[in-house]
């Protein structure tokens, strides 16, 4: 079946630091890939997505590129802010299943 593995947290950074959260997946075919963000006490919101190989999803300064050859979808941001503190989930849909598959989530803490 499908699976998603993402780096464990928490990731603790100072404001304006560079962020990378690694995500790799296992799936048959060509799934769509997503990053969701969860702020404290809230539900999951879509942050960005990519639907085919070499697509780059971007939103709010975050980027991730769909790498078929390495089955990866790493999340990056050049300069994080305190307001980016949240839990980030890598996910996929497709690849033979319409059940969203999630990684365990990575907590990001950004200090002023």
Partner 1 sequence: NAGVTQTPKFRVLKTGQSMTLLCAQDMNHEYMYWYRQDPGMGLRLIHYSVGEGTTAKGEVPDGYNVSRLKKQNFLLGLESAAPSQTSVYFCASYGLDSGTEAFFGQGTRLTVV
Binding of partner 1 at residue 66 (CB under 8 A)?
A: no
Q: What's the min distance (Å) between Cβ of 54 and partner 1?
A: 16
Distance of CA 77 to the CA centre of its chain: 11
Binding of partner 1 at residue 88 (CB under 8 A)?
A: no
Contact 77, 85 (CB under 8 A): no
Q: Which residue number, 1 or 78, has a Cβ lying nearer to partner 1?
A: 1
Token digits for 58? Answer: 């971007």
Binding of partner 1 at residue 16 (CB under 8 A)?
A: no
Binding of partner 1 at residue 58 (CB under 8 A)?
A: no
Stretch that binds partner 1, among 18-26, 60-68, 72-80, 103-111 (CB under 8 A): 103-111
Binding of partner 1 at residue 30 (CB under 8 A)?
A: no
Q: Tell me how far apart the alpha carbons of residues 2 and 96 are, in angstroms, rounded to a whole number.
A: 8
Contact 73, 90 (CB under 8 A): yes
- Among 61, 73, 62, which Cα is nearest to 31's? 73
Token digits for 24? Answer: 């790799």
Residues that bind partner 1 (CB under 8 A): 32, 34, 36, 42-46, 49, 51, 89, 91, 93, 98-100, 102-105
């Amino acid at each position: 079946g499908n699976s998603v593995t993402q780096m464990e947290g928490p990731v603790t950074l100072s404001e304006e630091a560079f962020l990378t959260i690694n995500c790799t997946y296992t799936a048959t075919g060509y799934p769509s890939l997503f990053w969701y963000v969860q702020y404290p006490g809230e539900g999951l919101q879509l942050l960005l997505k990519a639907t085919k190989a070499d697509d780059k999803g971007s939103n709010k300064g975050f980027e991730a590129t769909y790498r078929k050859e390495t089955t990866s979808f790493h999340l990056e941001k050049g300069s994080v802010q305190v307001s980016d503190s949240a839990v980030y989930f890598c996910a996929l849909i497709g690849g033979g299943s319409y059940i969203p598959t999630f990684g365990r989530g990575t907590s990001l803490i950004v200090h002023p």
